[in-house]
Structure 1
Amino acid sequence: MNALRRWLLSGLLVIVPLAVTLGVLNWVIGLMDQTLWLLPQRWQDWLMAEGQFAGSNRIRGVGVLLTLAILLSVGAVASNFIGKRLLEWGDALVRRIPVVRSIYTSVKQVSDTVFSESGNAFRTAVLVQWPREGMWTIAFVTGSPAGEAARHLGGDDYLGVYVPTTPNPTGGYFVMVRRRDCIELRMSVDAALKYIVSMGVVVPGGPAAGSLPTPTNHS
Structure 2
Amino acid sequence: MRRLLFLGLMAIVPVVLTIYVIIGIFEFADNFLGKFINRYLATYFGYTFPGLSIIITFLLILFVGMLVRISRMRLLKAIEAFFSKLPLASKIYFPIKKIVEFLFLNSEKKFKEAVLVEYPRKGVYSLGFITNRADKNFEKRLNKNFYNVFIPSSPSPLTGFMIVVPEEEIIFLNISIEEAISLIVSGGLLNPQDLK
Q: TM-score, normalised by structure 1?
A: 0.45
Q: TM-score, normalised by structure 2?
A: 0.49
- Structure that is richer in helix per residue: 2
Kindly indicate whether structure 1 or structure 2 has the higher relative contact order, using CA contacts under 8 Å at least 6 residues apart: 1
